[in-house]
Amino acid sequence: MDVKLSDVKSKNKSNSAKGMNLGFLSQDISFNRGLSDKDKEIFYSDLSILISSGIDIKSALELILLEQAKTKKETIFNSIKNDLISGKSLSEAIFRTNKFSTYEYYSIKIGEETGRISEILIDLSKYYNDKLAQKRQIVNAFSYPVLVLAVAVIVVIFMMNVIVPMFKDVFSRFNSELPVITTMVINISEFFTANLYIIVLLIVIIVSVVYLSRKKLWYRKFTSGILLKIPFIGKLVAKIYLSRFCQAMSLLISSKVPLINALDLVKNMMNFYPYEPALTKISADIMAGKPLYLSMKNHSIFDVRTVSLVKVAEEVNKLDYIFNKLNMQYSDEIKHRIGLLNGVLEPVLIIFIGIMVGIILISMYLPLFQLSTSIY
């Protein structure tokens, strides 16, 4: 085939429907055995560009396959292409791979039925682009503090297991009574030295229990409840999921998906416990004839502004527009909160580390100062 995907992307870059960045970005580090969020963002973006250029879906997939190395992605995309050749629709083809969510399947299915497939693909690409942007913001905000904290933990462990025992040997030659702070630090050092293997074993057990229980209902309910109660972090997490909720609802409702079906699809894709029982109850309330905003009002995960605007949206039949605007507002607020968090965490951690190291050093040198004073 003479046409190349890069040529089509270059030709359409100037007239992209939503002003999206159409270039391939560097791949995110992922342990996903299927398709990562980055893979899906690129796939939907490229597919929408090619279809908008007048290329049929089968040829578009062939062009996308030319850009893939011999990886599992190539196998997945080739499976989709073969299903299209055999007469299946794009929505059926992606669903058969078991690598795409029900949310994506129904979105594309509605796009095929309404003739808005290109717009739906752009919206799906934007959804994953925004999701990745939020992940990167959070990673950037926490990477430096986590690195500093890890180094601090290593330094403290080294001091407690090497430096403090050395000073302890020196202090054992003194006949004077040690200061309280020195005695306390030495006792802590002895405890960690004597029980190091037990502590390591406990850490391994805790990590194993967390890993094995991460998908269980009780664990998700417990951890989400704790997470939402952490000062500042809890509000940030709540805003992130509220933004995703609004974005998903905007996409589904604009695609003419019935409200109850949209709520069920969003419930399956959110993967955050408070939304699952809340959306289940909201769906039941709507089936009983209750307005959406009244049902949302009963759940604390939806703030007053969201409920108030949804009420207005229901009255003027503009739910998709309002949810889209809310998503944009919450996305901007998330960026602002992450910036603040990044600015606060760094000095707080530096102060905390300084205090910890300072306490150990002072406790070790204080007896020496007392000894020198008594000599003179």
42-54 pLDDT tens trace = 889 888 888 888 8
CA distance 183 to 94: 65
299-340 pLDDT tens trace = 988 989 999 999 999 999 899 899 999 988 998 888 888 888
CA distance 170 to 166: 7
Provide DSSP, 16-30.
-TT----SPPPPPP-
Burial group, residue 315, by CB count within 10 angstroms (0-12, 13-18, 19+): exposed
- 286 pLDDT above the threshold of 70: yes
Asked if domains 5-100 and 126-376 share a fold, the reply is: yes
User: What is the helix (H) or strand (E) element at residue 290, kind and residue range?
Assistant: none
- Per-residue confidence at 25, pLDDT binned at 50, 70, 90? very low
Domain at 5-100: CATH architecture: Up-down Bundle (1.20)
37 near 132, Cβ under 8 Å? yes
CA distance 58 to 85: 7
CA distance 128 to 159: 45
Other C-beta atoms within 10 Å of 162: how many? 11
What does CATH list as the number for 126-376?
Answer: 1.20.81.30
CA distance 253 to 241: 18
Other C-beta atoms within 10 Å of 75: how many? 12
Please report the pLDDT score of residue 149 as a whole number. Answer: 82
Q: How many residues does the chain have?
A: 376
Q: Which residue ranges make up each domain of the chain? A: 5-100, 126-376
